[in-house]
Copies of this chain bind each other. A is one copy, B any other.
Amino acid sequence: MKEKSSKASFAAAKRRTECVCINLRRMSRTVSQIYDDALAPADIKITQFCLLRAIERIGPTGVGALAEDQELDRTTLTRNLALLEREGFIEQAPGPDRRTSLTRLTRAGTAAVARALPHWERVQDELRDALGDETLKKLNEIQATISAAAAGSGKS
């Protein structure tokens, strides 16, 4: 159990801690596939499911506000919404402003969420079993910290 040197141990520990970013990207990819597989019977992707749920939660909303809520680039959201509209899951209503139109769920959209929900709950529970409840909470905390840090430094 002897160590070569404390310097070497430190270097080894640092090496084991790989790039945080690629680590997160890898987890994101892997877990996205797990969720997409689980939602496949409901014929919807996890990204779209969560986007529909967000719109359902916050009610009719403009693109900018929704993008801020999701911490997603506004122009990315525009294209994601276009797909959901093509599927008939959302529709545009006139907003308080001629610049803005409000996005809201259609009946088909509400139905799609309801249809996919049991599948989502199942895979979410499976992941909870695999990782542990504390780990899931920890992930939420880390996410909040990262968002706060990014919001603090980035925007003007």
Contacts and interface: CB of A to CB of B under 8 A. Distances in A.
**Chain A at the B interface: SS class:** helix
B147 A130 contact: no
A71 B30 contact: yes
Given A142-B139, A145-B130, A145-B131, A124 B30 contact: no
Interface stretch (A31-39, A93-101, A106-114): A31-39
A146 B25 CA distance: 12
B31 A146 contact: yes
Interface stretch (A1-9, A12-20, A58-66): A12-20
Stoichiometry (number of copies): 2
A135 B143 CA distance: 11
Nearest to A147: B30
A28 to B, nearest CB: 4
Interface string A120-135: 1000100110110101
Given A149-B130, A150-B33, A17 B142 contact: no
Contacts of A30: 71, 146-147, 150
A119 B107 CA distance: 49
Contacts of A28: 21, 24-25, 27-28
Contacts of A120: 19
8 contacts: A17-B140, A20-B139, A21-B35, A23-B139, A24-B24, A24-B32, A25-B32, A31-B146
Given A19-B50, A19-B120, A20-B136, 8 more contacts: A19-B124, A20-B127, A21-B31, A21-B34, A27-B146, A30-B147, A33-B154, A130-B149
